[in-house]
C-alpha cells in the first residue's frame, strides 16, 4: 500500500539522506577540467564528445546598454516530470531527494525525474534514470501537464525543458527507491516555505497544474480564501489575454536589441585565470570550473563548468484583491537569452549588480516591504518571503529572495503599459502556452498558499 508521510517525516528523510551523502566539489582551472576544452574554432568551452552543454559569449546592445557576458548553450530538451496519484483522497506527487553539484543545501525536493536528453540517452556512461520508461510510454489520457517551458534566460540561450505531470491510478505498483517518496500538494506548498528545500525544477512543474479547469477535491484542500477561490475558478479574462499577447508581439517586432554570439575568450571585460572566468567589474555571476564527486548519482565523479552567482537576486510579486478576486501584478520581461525575446515575469525581477535603473514600481515594492517588516507585518501583508534555490546542475550555490506582498486595491494609480494585473485563471491560461511565463514568475506562482 502506498505510504504517505507527515511533513516532519519528510524533513527527517532529507536530513537522513544528507547525513549519508558524500560530496566533494573543488574548483580547478579550465586546463585541468577533465573532458572539457576551449574550442578555438567555435569559440566555445565544450565537452570533448560534443554532448551536455557548451558556453560561449554574447556581446552587443541590450535594453539600451552595452552588454557582454558568457552564456550557456544547451539545445537539447530534457524531462522535468512528476508522477502523481490520489492517496487517501489527496493528490500526491512522487518526489525525489536529489543532489545536484551546485545545490546550496545538498539534497533538495525534486521531480520524479529530472534528466537532460544526454542523461537519459546515457551519453555520460552512467545508469539510466529510474522511472524514465513510465514517462516515455505514458498513455495520452494519463497526461495532466505537458509543456515546453523556458529556463533562466539570463544564463541560458534559448534553454527549454519538457515540464510534464502524469497520473497513475495504481500508486502501489510503483516501486520506490530510497530517494523517492509520495508528497502531497499541500505539503509541497508548506515545504516551499523552507529556504532552498524545494528545487527550481519542482516549482516550475507544479506551477503548471491546471486548477482552473480541474475542480476535483483531491487537488487542493478546501480553499477558505474567497478572493483566491474566485480568482482560480473562473473564466480567463479573454480581453486581457488579447492585450497581453498584442504587447508581446509588438515587443518582438519593434525592439532594437542587437546582441550577437561571439567567442567566449573575445569578451574584453572578462578574464580567464586559474580560478575561473570572471568579469573585471561587478557582475551577477562568474564561471567556475569544478571537479565533482557525489555518491548515489548516475555518474559519481566528473568535471564541469558551473555558473556562480556573485550576489542574490530579488523577485517580488504584488498581490491585491480586486472586485472580489485575487490578482497579481505581472510585467513583460525581456532577457538576453530568452527563446522568444520576452516573457511575462513577476512585478520585480532584479539581479545582483543590475545595471537597469529601478523604476517607480520597483521602489514602491521595496518601500511597502520595508513598511510591513518594520511594523512586524501586523496586517499580514507579507504572504511569502523565502530564499529559493536556482538550478543546481549548472549554477553553483545560487539562492534568490522571493517575496509575495499584498497591497490595497488603489495603491497604484496608473500602470506603465508593460504591467498587467491578472487573476489566477488568466495567468494559468497564459501558462498553458509555451514560453509566455518566465521561470521566476512560475516559481512564485507555485508557492501561492492554496
Q: List, for residues 313-333, the tens digit of each pLDDT value.
A: 999 999 999 999 999 999 999
| Residues 159, 184: Cα–Cα separation, whole Å | 29
Residue 6 lies in a domain: no
Q: Cβ distance 369 to 76 under 8 Å?
A: no
> Which pLDDT value is given to residue 298?
65
Q: Which three cell numbers stand for residue 377?
A: 507585518
H helix count then E strand count, the chain: 10, 25
Residue reference for cell 535603473: 357
For the chain, the first-to-last Cα distance in angstroms comes to 28
| CATH number of the domain that residue 354 is part of | 3.90.79.40
Q: What is the pLDDT of residue 57?
A: 98
* 122 found inside a domain: no
Strands 325-334 and 419-423: antiparallel
Rounded to an integer, what distance in angstroms lies between the CA atom of residue 84 and that of residue 94?
A: 6
How far is the C-alpha of 254 from the C-alpha of 257, rounded, in Å? 9
3-state helix, strand, coil in the chain (%, to 5): 25, 35, 40
Tell me which residue of 121, 159, 444, 447 sits closest to 307, measured CA to CA.
Answer: 159
Which pLDDT does position 39 carry in this prediction?
Answer: 97
Query: pTM for the full model?
Result: 0.95
Within a domain: 292: no
C-alpha to C-alpha distances, 348 to 19, 62, 143, nearest whole angstrom: 37, 19, 33
| Residue 152 lies inside a defined structural domain of this protein | no
Q: Rounded to an integer, what distance in angstroms lies between the CA atom of residue 172 and that of residue 278?
A: 50
* Amino acid 124: pLDDT: 57
Please check whether residue 70 lies inside any domain of the structure. no
Tell me the three state secondary structure of residue 418: coil
Within a domain: 279: no
Rounded to 5°, the CA angle 425-429-435 comes to 135
- Residues 92, 167: contact at Cβ < 8 Å? no
Residue 422 lies in a domain: yes
Q: Which residues contact 146 (CB under 8 A, 6 or more apart)?
A: 162, 163, 164, 165
Q: What is the DSSP string of 69-102?
A: EEEEE--S--EEEEEEEEETTEEEEEEEEE--TT
d(CA 405, CA 189): 17
The residues pairing with 58 across neighbouring beta strands, listed in sequence order, are: 69, 261
Answer for the pair 316, 134: CB distance below 8 angstroms, yes or no.
no
Q: Please give the helix or strand (H or E) that residue 371 lies within, else none.
A: helix 360-374
Residue among 125, 93, 99, 123 at smallest CA distance from 197: 99
Q: Which parts of the chain sit beneath pLDDT 50?
A: none
Q: State how many domains the chain has.
A: 1
The pLDDT value recorded for residue 116 is 79
- Is residue 230 within 8 Å of 137, Cβ to Cβ? no
Length of the chain: 450
Residue 99 lies in a domain: no
**384: containing domain:** 230-257+312-445
Amino acid at each position: 500500500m502506498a505510504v504517505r508521510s507527515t511533513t516532519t517525516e519528510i524533513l527527517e528523510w532529507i536530513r537522513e539522506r544528507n547525513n549519508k551523502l558524500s560530496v566533494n566539489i573543488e574548483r580547478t582551472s579550465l586546463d585541468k577540467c577533465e573532458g572539457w576544452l576551449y574550442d578555438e574554432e567555435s569559440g566555445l568551452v565544450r565537452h570533448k564528445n560534443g554532448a551536455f552543454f557548451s558556453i560561449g559569449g554574447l556581446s552587443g546592445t541590450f535594453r539600451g546598454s552595452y552588454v557582454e557576458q558568457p552564456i550557456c548553450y544547451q539545445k537539447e530538451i530534457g524531462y522535468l516530470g512528476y508522477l502523481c496519484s490520489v492517496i487517501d483522497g489527496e493528490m500526491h506527487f512522487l518526489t525525489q531527494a536529489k543532489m545536484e553539484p551546485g545545490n546550496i543545501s545538498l539534497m533538495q525536493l525534486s521531480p520524479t525525474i529530472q534528466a537532460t536528453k544526454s542523461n537519459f540517452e546515457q551519453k555520460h556512461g552512467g545508469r539510466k534514470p529510474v522511472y524514465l520508461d513510465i514517462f516515455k510510454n505514458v498513455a495520452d489520457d494519463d497526461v495532466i501537464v505537458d509543456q515546453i517551458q523556458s529556463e533562466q534566460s539570463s544564463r541560458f540561450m534559448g534553454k527549454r525543458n519538457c515540464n510534464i505531470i502524469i497520473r497513475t491510478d495504481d500508486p502501489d505498483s510503483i516501486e520506490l527507491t530510497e530517494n523517492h517518496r509520495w508528497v502531497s500538494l499541500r505539503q509541497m506548498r508548506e515545504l516551499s516555505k523552507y529556504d532552498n528545500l524545494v528545487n527550481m525544477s519542482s516549482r516550475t512543474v507544479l506551477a503548471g497544474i491546471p486548477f482552473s479547469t480541474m475542480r476535483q477535491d483531491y487537488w487542493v484542500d478546501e480553499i477558505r480564501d474567497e478572493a483566491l477561490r474566485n480568482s482560480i475558478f473562473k473564466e480567463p479574462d479573454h480581453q486581457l489575454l488579447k492585450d497581453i499577447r498584442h504587447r508581446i508581439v509588438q515587443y518582438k517586432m519593434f525592439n532594437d536589441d542587437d546582441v550577437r554570439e561571439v567567442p567566449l575568450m573575445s569578451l574584453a571585460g572578462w578574464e580567464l585565470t586559474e580560478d575561473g572566468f570572471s568579469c573585471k567589474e561587478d557582475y551577477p555571476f562568474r564561471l567556475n570550473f569544478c571537479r565533482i564527486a557525489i555518491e548515489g548519482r548516475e555518474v559519481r565523479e566528473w568535471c564541469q563548468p558551473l555558473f556562480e552567482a556573485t550576489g542574490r537576486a530579488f523577485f517580488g510579486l504584488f498581490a491585491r484583491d480586486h472586485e472580489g478576486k485575487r490578482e497579481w501584478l505581472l510585467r513583460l520581461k525581456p532577457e538576453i537569452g530568452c527563446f522568444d525575446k520576452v516573457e511575462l515575469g513577476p512585478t520585480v525581477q532584479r539581479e545582483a549588480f543590475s545595471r537597469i535603473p529601478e523604476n517607480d514600481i520597483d521602489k514602491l515594492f521595496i518601500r511597502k516591504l520595508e513598511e510591513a517588516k518594520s511594523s512586524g507585518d501586523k496586517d499580514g501583508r507579507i504572504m511569502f518571503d523565502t530564499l529559493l534555490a536556482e538550478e543546481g546542475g549548472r549554477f553553483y550555490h545560487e539562492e534568490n529572495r522571493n517575496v509575495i506582498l499584498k497591497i490595497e486595491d488603489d495603491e497604484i494609480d496608473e500602470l506603465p503599459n508593460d504591467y498587467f494585473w491578472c487573476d489566477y485563471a488568466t495567468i494559468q491560461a497564459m501558462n498553458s502556452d509555451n514560453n509566455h511565463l518566465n521561470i521566476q514568475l512560475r516559481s512564485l506562482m507555485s508557492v501561492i498558499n492554496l
